[in-house]
Each structure stands twice: as structure tokens, then as C-alpha cells.
A and B are shown apart, each in its own frame.
Chain A
């Protein structure tokens, strides 16, 4: 999962001659760049080592499997969010879309697996496109558009569930249910799907022209436009992608729970944003990597797990910790960014 960082710095640096004046990056600069890219990973490893030393129950197969499963759905949402944040945007509608996707999938599962998957993807993708159109073509602020979409999607969800009173169930023996409940080589299917999606996501972001445009739009929108990048189309695409990811995560979650639970997803947008940012992606856009989102999600889930293990502590500490984490990371990013800004 280190696809993201391979390209930078592997080749032997050619000694800059001629036009190098500012002395290039100092040691401190290199360090801060490293901290930004791998800080979360180091923290994750430290947290896991500490947790397994402190609690016998941490490093057990069951516990790890549980953590991985509960990470999977959030991770898929965070994957889409990564693309949005790299363009310098934000998508607050993912929590609602996650819940909507789950309900639509559960409802659709009575008509077969294809419907159960395509329906949530179509609806959530469409909402994402609408978000993108309003943001890219009409120039409205992403946070307000997606905040409205969050409300609107919640409304649609209530409308299709008789105001939240109906819960659609998934037939436990259907193929769709195995997408959530089955396992392959002893590892749950959702985990496999998540891994595949992340590999795909990493390839798309790092190795395709579209991915380059995503970085360019987030790094300097005006310059990207002057260099011929299709700015509006790129933006629409990332919001559509985020919608698709949220819808798919919801569908998988429904398959796992074998029902379309209506009350899920509140606050999920914050968890996803926190995970992406903690993983090293800049909230101001232009810099980030898919693997960071995965590390961020795992870190959040490990913290949650540890807090649960302690038992005496309430799960609310999870939010305090991730909020504080988010604040610290954001401050560090702003600070590093300001130090490194060269005109």
C-alpha cells in the first residue's frame, strides 16, 4: 500500500547545479515531509504494539478480524473522500449517502444481487454528480452544497422507509448476503473488496491522467486550467466518485448486517474526513495519498478498540481523541505548509 510514495525520492537525486539558489530543502524540511507522509503509519504501529503489550485480548484473531471488518466500510467511504479532499473540496454528505445506500441495497436485494448493488450506486452516484455540478459549474461552496445534500439524502432515506419505520431485510442465503458475511481464505469478503478498491484507488490517483488532474486542480486551480486540465469535469468526477464509494460502502454494510438499518451514518463524514487528514492528506488540497486514508481509518479503529478494552472508559473518548487528533494534525499541516511555502 505504499504505491503513493514510491515515486518521490527513490531516484538518486541529481546534484542541482545552476539555478539552485535557495539551498533546496533543509534537513528539517525533509523531516517534516516524512512526518507528514508516514507519521500516521508510525503512530499506528506504536499504538498496535502498545495495545498488544497491554491487553492480551488485543492481538487475537477474532479481535483483529472485528477491527478489520468495522474498518472496511469506513475505509471505502474515506477512499472517495480522499479524492475530494485532494481537489481541495470536502464532502459532508457521505454519512447520509452511506445510510441511503444501505437501505436501497436491502430493498433491492429482493430483486437480486445486481439490483442490490446497482441501485445504491446509481442513486448515490447521481447525488454526487449533482453536488459536483453545483460546486464546479455554479461555483457554490462545497461545504454548503454537500451539507444540503446530507439533509436531502437523509430525506430520501426517510421517504423510502416510511419515515424510518421500515427496515428492509436481506435474505441470509442470497448471494448478496455473502458479500457481507462470507469469507475467503478465512478473511471476510468486505475486507477483500476494500483491499481491491484501495489498490484500484491508488492506481487511479497515482498512475492515471485523471489522478494527475485531481492533484493539479487541488494544488493550483488557476494554473491547472491554464495548463489545460479539465477542471470542472475533474471536480464533478470526484464528487461522483465519493458518492459511489459511500453508496457501495452502505450496500456492503447492509449485506453484512443483512438489513438496511436506517439510523446509520450520522457523524460518519467526520470520521472519514478525520481519517483522511490524519493519514497525511492536506485539507487545503493538492497533496495526499490513498494509503494514508487506510492508515487513518485503522488508527481510529485501533484507538476505539483500545478504549473499549479499557472498559471503564466510555466510547465517547474516541471522539475526543479523534477531534484532538484532527486539530493537532490540522495545526501541524498549516504550520508545516506555511514554513515550506516558497513563492
Chain B
């Protein structure tokens, strides 16, 4: 049986201060980003978790009120650390940005109500991403009076794999925008940060065909844009129950029902034919899934990135399970 070499968190990734978390929709990207923020905060660090897509997923995850556009503490980590969260609102970011250069006075809120700001960001779609990455960079590089970084790490719950490179490729987005002026100067710094060793782009995937294919495509795209893939985060990994030697036959529909029946009888279970048939059918479906997962692992092994695994949480995700997932990450070397 081939398994993805779980080499865990490498030195190189541990040096990054900006952790961008992407993944196909439905893979649990936001949950993993939350668990990663908690894991990185473990042992006394200060971590900022940033949300950029306006869905208030962090608030739902940590069971808090919807986040305002400010950095709020959402959790304490084991060992004295803390996670703060920021919900970046593009319109607020644009107004904040403009107010650095122009005094808009009271007009800001009215402009917003009229939809003028949304319109400005649709005029130039790249503007949205430039504003968001600009805000992220400001958080990563912010220092206190003593010159120490305010945050030890920043984790971004980023757009899905299909849009991640567009999101991070600020140089390209700037092609849409003015060639001079304040935003140009600022974006040069963003580009430097995103393409440096300070940034790692992690990819969340399930062991299923489509998410794995999108992950592989995203890694190629990231490489092509000179961005740095970090780790593969295998989410919702379920335990294979069948002995490895039985998987292939079972996936073909060959389950030795008489052997199963004998085993069940040995355990004191005398089951009807109908129940036995049902168990066999469930076993075949399980085996087909295990085989598909195996193929997914083989494909992932080819892109040769460090990987960490998170187990399936059958009862769903609440704040408690988030801490458990963070612990699983720490156990695999996340720091």
C-alpha cells in the first residue's frame, strides 16, 4: 500500500510568517485555517486569522458574534497564545485606504450606501485583490513600539484553489490599475512579501478525485507564478477498515460472505441473510472508496510536497473539535 509520505511541517514552512490557506470549495478550508491558527498560537504565540471573502465563517467557526472590521480576540491557545481574527471588508478597506490620502469627510458612508464603492471595485476587478493583499501585508509587517512584530504569524482563509493565483498575483492585477500613484508604491511591497520565504501557500484537499485534481493544478499554477506552495493539508481522512489484502477483491464485489458469516457467528452474532447482504454491500462501497483514496494519495505523492493529515469529525465541527484538530497538527510538527 502506497501512502503519502507524511513528512509534516518542514523547517522552511516553519519560518514562514504568512500562511495562506486555499482549497477547493467544500474541502473544509475555513475549518483547517482556524485549526492551523490555533496550532501556530500554541505555546504563547500571537496569531491573526484573516478572512477575505465576506462570509463571516470565522465567527461561525469560533462561535462568536459576526466580526467587525477590526482585530478581535476569538480564542486562547494552549500555553498562553492567542488567536485574533479579522474580517476584511473590501469596501471598508478601500475607504480606509482612500482616507490615507484624501479627506472624504462624512461622504464615505453615503457613497457606500449608494453602491459607489462596490462599483469602483467592479470597474477594476484587480483592485479588490490589491486592497485585500495590501491589508494582509500591513498586518504581517506591523510592529509595536519596540520594533517587534505584533503578530508571530498571520493565517489567511483565502479564496478557493480556482482563484488563488489570481488573488496572490498582485503584479498582474496592477496591470489593470494606475501605473503611478500611491497604490503602485504600496503594491511593490506586497509583491515582495508574497513571493518571499515569509509566505507559504497551503492547500487543503480531501482524498477525492476532483479536489486532488484541483490541488495539483493549483500547485502548477503557483509554481508558474513564482509563488511558494507550502504543505498539503489532507482533511477529513477516514480510517481504512478493511485489511489491505482484501480491498481490491472487495472493490470488485468479491466479499467472502461465508467467511464474514463465520466470523460474525464466532462473535456471537447470528444475522439474517438480509442483514448479511447489507453488510456485504456496505463493505463493497467502503472498498471502492478506499481504492479511490489510495489513487488520490498516489497522485498527491507525485507533487512531492510536505503533508499533514486531519481526521474526519463525524459529529461535525465545534470549538472543542477545533482545539482537537489543532492538537493533531501540533503533533505532526506544526509550529
Q: Do A and B bind each other?
A: no
Enumerate chain B interface residues (CB-CB to A < 8 A).
Answer: none
